[in-house]
Every structure is written in C-alpha cells, then in structure tokens.
Amino acid sequence: MEGGTTFHFLDAAPAEVLCAAREAADGQDVRIGGGPTVVRDFLAAGLIDHMHLVQVPIVLGRGVRVWDGLQALEDDYDIEAVSAPSRVTHLTFDRKPS
C-alpha cells in the first residue's frame, strides 16, 4: 500500500515472525504490536531493541503479567520512566550496547 501501513498476523515463533517482517519491510522499521504474551515472547527471545510501554494504574484483579519469566531484563536495557498528568507511566526500554 503506497504510503500506508501493512499489518501481517502470523502464528509462528518470534524469530520466524521477525525474519518475515524484516523481509516485508525491505529496510524500513519493523514494529511488533500485541498484548503481554506477544511482548514477553519477543523479549524472552532477545529480539526487542527498543520498546515503549504505557503502564495504566488500574488493577483489574487478573490477566496476563508482562514480566513473568523475564528476570534481570533490566541488565540488558537502559530504562526510562516518565509519569504523565493522566497518571499513566511511559516506560522506554533501549537495548544496551554489547
């Protein structure tokens, strides 16, 4: 689509999905969108270079937790947290140089 955004929905391993996305992007940025399970799978596989996550201060009582199984994630990323007047917190993760 000329000048637009194309979405592809795949049921595959994160590394396979990222490879297909990079091929389709032809040198442009690739963005991964999804809920906590998708984010966690890509983080666990070490495939995220930059992430912007918005934390909303609402307790619903149940659901999928983003950070389960991602111990020491902060060792691999520079993390910045900025609170907004709307009470959400913007978390930015940038992979540390290796």
44-82 pLDDT tens trace: 999 999 999 888 877 777 777 888 888 888 899 999 999
To the nearest 10 degrees (0 to 180), the angle between helices 36-44 and 14-25 is 90
Q: What is the mean pLDDT of the chain?
A: 88
Q: Tell me, what's the pLDDT at 77?
A: 94
Q: Tell me, what's the pLDDT at 65?
A: 80
| Rounded percentage of the chain residues whose pLDDT exceeds 70 | 97
Q: Which domains does the chain have, with CATH numbers?
A: 14-95 (3.40.430.10)
CB 77 within 8 A of CB 96: yes
Average pLDDT over residues 7-20: 90
